[in-house]
Structures are given as structure tokens and as C-alpha cells.
């Protein structure tokens, strides 16, 4: 009877995801159905003359439980609707002549480089173009690419065995491993696994290939990263911003962390220079800095290399300063020492005088222009989040979103003037799906310092009424809840369910100066908790529609850690908790996670050298004081915070008789990404919140 009862119980818990009406055309509060079916616009790319915008759009095939990536082009001069030029593909980049687009798509199950020719002359034929042609025929999946400025060659990234002489060798080994009936693997160093993948002995390596007279690439490109024991681009989230051509195409720059035996506790990325013909081995340009150097951008005149650099080894959330290196002398200078923000990857103007970067800034994520000589910083586009941008011919094309709108594309000049929206994806969905208004507020937090948060009103808000509250705690911990759209922790999904939302950017958050960000290290349960308490009180005092007696706290990653911490030390105000992939036992977290540099920085060293630091704010030590009902969510492929952390917390809850549920997705990682899993996640969380805040 017990196995049958368990199966029935699991089936009942899974039912919310099955009852999904995907299309609701009548006006209604925003919900997860709207969220998962929205078109996701990304990767804006201006043509060399600035007339055409190429970009990616991910639509959702809900039945197949996956996203479909397509490529669109918009004639910015003519206007009108974008034209789909590639049904399935991503990473579109313009050819040097502006008449063709390169992109990545599968051929016989292997990711390859393709080209679609859009016509000749001043006006492209977007609707009547020729069929796309496959231009690479490599034996392995293409991981990333970057075209040379003259369009005659291309940088390619492949994951290979570094002792193989060619791609075919790596393919033969992969095929041989798949045929082997013995499935064991012997490891002699870390990483054994990283993020959501087990180490397979292969490295991302950088190659170059030249187009022939017919525009085709050879099956075997030339290796440029010879002798480099590291990944180019980095795993798991690196991209083509980590390598670059010089303007004359003769030199290639890239960043890499040498692995050796210290990879899991090192953030020492360095910049390398290598001849584009592969005639000599790469040369380390930033060996003196033992912290993170990355994202090379050569100046148009070839004299200067701009890049980003941190100063503190082993600290992934240190400030990224903009650096300039004289390529002849090797001398370096910091371009922006007076700017207390951490810059994102750089773009440089054609005249070399202006650099462009995004950065977190007091709840927003704007685009900035930085004078390359003086370091003067100018905010170009302030409100909302600029998630990507392209600069060509004095124009900027931006991917921009905010708390009420998913990404669309906007056009402005290089000075940020005349901002104009040029795409309107999801307009019909947003017309029918009502969202809640939001407002930022500030208060005095730890040490009487100013802290910022925001409140989102529930959909259908009426003055004089009180509403239950979802108190969301962000992860990172060096992150922020900002004015941006999200497909994982979107406040509008709670506002649409009738909840008000409160969130606080506590000490440790980004966008408020580096000292503010640094202050969380070694004090996970201290200053941030004080800020959360003060922010909760400030919100209740300021917004009378918040029902402080009917509130639940939710958090993921560090936010999940904080939920476990609050369960033992600040549980009085809360009707329920939701914990997603949180740290339950700081002691075991050190030995089970993969990126040890993070744990060692946040806790002042290793666990075996400083055990007291790991116990100071360890949630497991306060389990006896837990009493609030909790939903625990933890997935099987989360190697950042392994699933045993969530299972341990659920055991603690069940053993004490505290009302609790455990939701797991065996194939998901630290995030829940598949459309149907996302729906189930939201339906389960919403049901939990309503169960404990309902007045019935």
C-alpha cells in the first residue's frame, strides 16, 4: 500500500502543470501561461551601414517542451514588420559587405556555420532571398564564432581533446566512448562537474579558418590556442566577447583561465595575444595581475587594448574596471577609476574615442558611454535594463526591458538621443494580460545606510484594500532585483495572482558601489538580514495595502539560503516559506559545490582552516527553531548547490512535523528552464502561497 499511496501523492502534486490553457485572449491578470508563451527577443545586430537590424526571437513549442530560435531582420529605414529570414538558427552576424548573415544551426545533428545571402545593392530582398548555405562541415558542434573585420576568415570555438591533432580525432574518441559498455570515469583533479555537466576531458579551444572562393570553410581549421590548458570561451556561460580580432585581422586576443589543478579555486583569467596565422604560441599579456582580466577590445588604430580587470584574486564579484594597455610598451592604466560601478563587456566607437558598457546602477541596468581618454562616464539610456546592444555607423540598437515589459528593440544615436522603439513583440499578449504597477523606495538599513527596494501592486489593486504579500529575496548574493523582465523570478506572476510583492536590495547587492557589494562577504546572515527586517518594516509603514499578517517569504540560491536562515532566526512574521536551491548546510556546501573560490571568499578561507566561519551563519544549526510551513524546490542537475541540500532541509521539516512539500525536477539545473517545468514550478509555488495566506 505504501508505494501505491506515494505514487498517488506524487501524481496529485504534479497536476497543476497539466491543466494549462495556453492562450487566454480575454483581459486577465498576468500569469505563468503568458510568461512561458512570450516571444523572447535577443542578440541585436546592426548591419554595417546601420540600416538593417538582425536579431533572434525564441518562440515556445509547448507540446515539444522547448524553445525554437529563429532569426529576423527589420529594415529600419522602411519600418514595418520584421521579416523572418531563418526558421531555425541563432547567433546571427552580418558579413562585412552587409549583404549576408552568418548564423549557427544544426546540420545532421551537428551545429554548423551557415550563411544566408539577402541580395545586392542598397536595398536587401528580405522576403525573396536565396536559400541558406552551410559553410562549415566540422565533425564537432560549433560552440561560437567571430568574423574577421575583412570577412575573409572566422574564429571558431570547438570542444576538443587538447592532445588531438584535429577535430576528427576528438570525434573518433567520442564515438569510441559511446560504444564502450563500461561507463565509469576516473578523475584525478577538479572540476569533476561544473554547473550542470560532468567533466568529459575536453576543452573549448580557439581555431581560425579562411573562406575559400565559394565562401566555404575547410573541415579542419587551424588551432590558435596551442598549449593552452583552459576553455575559450569559458565554461559554462562564456561567449564570443571573450575573443577578438585586431582591426587589420593579423592578431587575435582572447581571455582564459589556465586550469591546472587550481581551476576550482582560481579566478585568475589572463589576456593572450596570438598571430592570426597560428605561427607562434599565444603570449600572456596580463600575467602580473592574479585577479580576473577579460573581454578584450582592440582600438581601431591597433595601438591600445581595452579590457576589463578585477583587482582581488579569488573574488568573482569584485569591480570590473576598464583598463587600457599600450600594446607596444605593455603599460596599463585604469580608464575609469572614479566610476564606482562594475562594467559589462565593452564596445568601441569607430574613432576609438568612446567606449560603451552596461552596468547595474541603483535598481536599473543602463547603457553608458565612457570617454577613452578622460574616463568621463555618461548615462545614455537609464530606465529599465539594457540586455544587449549593437553599434554601427553612429547608431545604437538596444535590447531593452523593464518590470512591466519583456525585451523589445530600440534605436538611438550614439549619444543616446532620440530613443525610439522599433519592435513590438508580445504587444497583443500584454494588451490582454494586465500587470501590476511598481515603485522603488528607500530606507535606512544596516549602519543607518540607505538601502533600496521596490513594491509591486497586485493586478486589480483598489485603494483601501489590503493584499497578501510575496516577499522575494534575490540570489547572487552579489546581485539585485532591478527594473527588468525575468522568465524565472518575475514579480508580475505573483501580482497576477493577487499578491503584492516586496523586495529589498540588501547590503551585498550590485549597483550601489563596490563597498556596498563587498559588505556581504563573511556576513551572510548579518547585514543582509538587518536590511531585510528594516525594509519589511519600512514597506509596511509606507504602503498601507500590504497585509503584514498574511505574507510569505521566497528566495533562490543565496535567497534560498536566507529563507533557511530566516526559518530559524526570523520566522515570526511569515505564514509560509518557499526555498529554491538554497544552501542548508554551509559546512557540507563547501565540499559538495564546484566553484570553491566563491565559498572561500565568502567565508574567509577553506572550511578545514576556518570551520568557525562556516558555522557562524549556518542554517542547519537552527533547525530546532523552525516552525513555519515550507515548500522546498531543488533539482537533480544543480551542481552549484547540490540536491542533497534541499533533501536535508525537507528531512528536517518532515522529521519535526512541520507542514512541507518537496518539488524536484531531475533534469533541471540551478534554474528551471523547460516550459512545462516552468508552469509546474509556478503553479506549485502559487498554490503553496495561497494555501497559507488564504483567509478562508
- Is residue 120 very low, low, confident or very high in pLDDT (cuts 50, 70, 90)? confident
Of 280, 265, 357, 364, give the one whose Cα is nearest residue 315. Answer: 265
Whole-number pLDDT of residue 3: 36
| Dist. CA 609–CA 605, nearest whole Å | 7
- C-alpha pair distances (Å), 129 with each of 78, 118, 125: 18, 5, 6
Residue 143 has pLDDT above 60, yes or no: yes
Where helices occur in 508-655 by DSSP H, the ranges are 514-518, 527-542, 558-569, 586-592, 596-602, 611-616, 644-655
Coil/strand/helix, residue 643: coil
Residue 2 pLDDT exceeds 50: no
Predicted pLDDT of residue 70: 98
Q: Name which of 295, 126, 144, 139 is nearest 218 in CA terms.
A: 139
pTM: predicted TM-score of the whole model, two decimal places? 0.95
Residues noted as catalytic = 557, 638, 670
Of all residues in the chain, what percent carry a pLDDT higher than 90? Answer: 95
Strands 385-392 and 395-402: antiparallel
CA dist 521 and 617 (Å) reads 12
| Mean pLDDT computed over 602-626 | 98
For residue 23, what pLDDT is reported?
A: 62
- What is the rounded average pLDDT of the residues 347-375? 98
Other CB atoms within a 10 A radius of the CB of residue 4 amount to 8
Which percentage of the chain shows pLDDT scores above 70? 96
C-alpha triplet 299, 300, 302: angle, nearest 5°: 65
Question: Looking at the DSSP assignment, which residues form a beta bridge with residue 256?
Answer: 270
Residue 117 pLDDT > 80: yes
Q: Which helix (H) or strand (E) holds 553?
A: strand 546-556
Compute the half-sphere exposure of residue 335: CA atoms within 13 Å on the CB side of its CA.
30
pLDDT of 295 strictly over 60:
yes
Q: How far is CA 99 from CA 95, 122, 203, 396, 411, in A?
A: 7, 9, 34, 20, 21
- Pair type for strands 433-434 and 420-421: unpaired
Q: What is the pLDDT of residue 122?
A: 79
| SS3 category, 242 | helix
Map grid coordinates 508580445 to a residue.
426
User: What pLDDT does 5 receive?
Assistant: 29
Grid coordinates 596570438 are at which residue?
274
pLDDT score of 17: 39
pLDDT digits (tens, 9 = 90+) for 182-224: 999 999 999 999 999 999 999 999 999 999 999 999 999 999 9
Query: For 169-179, how does the pLDDT look when each residue is reduced to its tens digit (9 = 90+)?
Result: 999 999 999 99
Q: How confident is the model over 625-653, as a mean pLDDT?
A: 98
CA distance 599 to 426: 41
Tracing cell 556576513 back to the chain, one arrives at: 523
What number of CA atoms fall less than 13 Å from residue 560's CA on the CB side? 24
Give 3-state DSSP helix, strand, coil % of the chain, rounded to 5. Answer: 20, 30, 45
pLDDT confidence bin for 695, thresholds 50/70/90:
confident
pLDDT above 80 for 463: yes
| pLDDT band with cut points at 50, 70 and 90 for residue 15 | very low
Mean pLDDT across the chain, nearest whole number? 95
CA 399 to chain CA mean position, Å: 15
3-class secondary structure, 399: strand
Q: What is the DSSP letter of 136?
A: -
Angstrom CA distances, 268 to 157, 256, 258, stand at: 21, 8, 8
The pLDDT of residue 362 is 98
Q: 526-566, pLDDT tens digit by residue?
A: 999 999 999 999 999 999 999 999 999 999 999 999 999 99
State the helix-helix crossing angle for 558-569 and 527-542, rounded to 10 degrees: 80
Q: What is the pLDDT of residues 389-424, one digit of tens each?
A: 999 999 999 999 999 999 999 999 999 999 999 999
Is the pLDDT at 80 greater than 50, yes or no? yes
Q: pLDDT by residue (tens digit) across 20-33?
A: 456 667 999 999 99
Q: What is the DSSP letter of 17?
A: G
**Cα dihedral sign, 382-310-295-594:** negative
The pLDDT tens digits of the residues spanning 323-332 come to 999 999 999 9
Instruction: Report d(CA 84, CA 101) in Å as an integer.
Output: 12
C-alpha span between 553 and 473 (Å, rounded): 7
Amino acid at each position: 500500500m505504501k508505494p501505491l499511496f506515494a505514487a498517488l501523492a506524487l501524481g496529485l502534486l504534479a497536476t497543476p502543470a497539466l491543466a494549462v490553457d495556453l492562450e487566454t485572449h480575454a483581459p486577465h491578470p498576468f500569469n505563468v501561461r503568458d510568461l512561458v508563451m512570450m516571444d523572447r527577443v535577443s542578440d541585436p545586430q546592426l548591419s554595417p551601414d546601420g540600416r538593417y537590424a538582425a536579431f533572434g526571437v525564441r518562440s515556445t513549442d509547448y507540446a515539444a517542451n522547448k524553445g525554437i530560435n529563429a532569426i529576423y531582420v527589420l529594415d529600419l529605414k522602411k519600418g514595418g514588420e520584421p521579416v523572418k529570414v531563418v526558421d531555425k538558427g541563432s547567433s546571427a552576424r552580418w558579413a562585412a559587405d552587409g549583404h549576408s548573415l552568418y548564423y549557427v544551426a544544426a546540420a545532421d545533428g551537428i551545429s554548423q556555420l551557415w550563411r544566408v545571402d539577402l541580395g545586392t545593392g542598397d536595398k536587401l530582398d528580405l522576403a525573396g532571398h536565396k536559400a541558406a548555405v552551410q559553410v562549415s562541415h566540422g565533425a564537432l558542434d560549433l560552440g561560437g564564432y567571430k568574423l574577421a573585420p575583412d570577412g575573409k576568415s572566422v574564429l571558431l570555438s570547438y570542444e576538443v581533446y587538447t592532445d588531438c591533432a584535429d577535430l576528427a580525432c576528438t570525434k573518433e574518441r567520442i564515438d569510441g566512448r559511446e560504444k564502450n559498455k563500461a561507463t565509469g570515469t576516473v578523475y584525478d583533479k577538479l572540476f569533476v562537474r561544473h554547473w550542470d555537466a560532468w567533466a568529459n576531458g575536453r576543452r573549448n579551444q580557439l581555431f581560425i579558418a579562411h573562406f575559400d572562393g565559394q565562401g566555404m570553410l575547410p573541415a579542419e581549421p587551424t588551432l590558435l590556442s596551442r598549449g593552452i590548458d583552459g576553455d575559450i570561451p569559458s565554461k559554462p556561460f562564456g561567449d564570443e566577447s571573450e575573443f577578438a580580432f585586431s582591426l587589420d585581422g593579423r592578431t587575435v586576443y582572447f581571455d582564459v583561465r589556465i586550469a591546472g589543478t587550481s581551476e576550482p579555486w582560481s579566478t585568475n583569467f589572463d589576456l593572450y595575444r596570438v598571430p592570426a596565422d597560428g605561427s607562434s604560441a599565444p603570449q600572456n599579456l596580463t600575467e602580473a595581475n592574479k585577479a580576473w582580466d577579460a573581454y578584450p577590445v582592440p582600438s581601431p588604430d591597433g595601438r591600445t587594448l581595452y579590457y576589463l580587470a578585477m583587482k582581488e584574486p579569488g573574488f568573482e564579484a569584485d569591480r570590473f574596471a576598464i583598463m587600457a594597455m599600450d600594446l607596444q610598451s605593455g603599460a596599463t592604466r585604469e580608464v575609469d577609476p572614479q566610476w564606482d560601478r562594475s562594467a559589462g563587456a565593452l564596445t568601441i566607437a569607430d574613432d576609438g574615442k568612446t567606449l560603451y558598457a552596461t552596468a547595474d546602477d541603483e535598481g536599473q541596468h543602463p547603457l553608458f558611454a565612457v570617454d577613452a581618454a578622460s574616463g568621463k562616464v555618461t548615462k545614455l539610456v537609464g530606465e529599465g535594463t539594457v540586455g544587449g546592444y549593437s553599434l554601427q555607423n553612429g547608431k545604437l540598437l538596444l535590447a531593452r526591458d523593464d518590470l512591466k515589459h519583456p525585451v523589445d528593440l530600440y534605436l538611438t544615436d550614439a549619444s543616446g538621443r532620440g530613443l525610439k522603439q522599433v519592435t513590438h513583440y508580445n504587444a497583443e499578449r500584454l494588451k490582454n494580460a494586465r500587470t501590476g504597477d511598481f515603485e522603488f523606495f528607500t530606507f535606512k538599513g544596516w549602519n543607518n545606510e540607505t538601502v533600496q527596494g521596490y513594491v509591486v501592486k497586485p493586478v486589480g489593486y483598489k485603494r483601501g484594500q489590503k493584499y497578501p504579500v510575496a516577499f522575494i529575496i534575490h540570489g547572487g548574493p552579489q546581485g539585485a532585483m532591478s527594473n527588468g523582465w525575468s522568465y524565472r523570478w518575475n514579480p508580475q506572476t505573483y501580482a497576477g495572482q493577487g499578491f503584492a510583492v516586496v523586495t529589498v536590495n540588501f547590503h551585498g547587492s550590485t549597483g550601489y558601489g563596490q563597498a556596498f557589494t563587498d559588505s556581504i562577504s563573511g556576513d551572510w546572515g548579518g547585514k543582509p538580514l538587518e536590511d531585510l527586517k528594516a525594509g519589511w518594516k519600512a514597506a509596511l509603514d509606507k504602503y498601507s495595502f500590504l497585509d503584514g499578517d498574511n505574507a510569505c517569504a521566497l528566495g533562490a540560491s543565496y535567497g534560498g539560503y536566507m529563507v533557511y536562515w530566516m526559518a530559524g532566526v526570523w520566522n515570526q512574521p511569515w505564514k509560509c516559506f518557499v526555498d529554491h536551491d538554497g544552501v542548508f548546510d554551509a559546512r557540507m556546501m563547501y565540499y559538495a559545490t564546484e566553484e570553491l573560490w566563491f565559498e572561500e571568499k565568502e567565508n574567509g578561507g577553506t572550511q578545514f582552516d576556518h570551520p568557525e566561519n562556516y558555522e557562524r551563519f549556518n542554517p542547519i544549526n537552527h533547525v530546532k527553531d523552525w516552525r513555519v510551513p515550507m515548500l522546498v524546490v531543488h533539482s537533480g542537475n544543480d551542481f552549484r548547490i547540490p540536491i542533497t541540500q534541499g533533501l536535508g532541509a525537507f528531512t528536517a521539516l518532515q522529521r519535526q512535523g512541520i507542514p512541507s512539500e518537496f518539488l524536484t525536477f531531475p533534469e533541471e539545473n540551478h534554474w528551471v528552464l523547460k516550459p512545462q517545468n516552468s508552469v509546474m514550478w509556478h503553479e506549485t509555488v502559487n498554490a503553496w502561497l495561497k494555501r497559507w495566506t488564504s483567509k478562508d
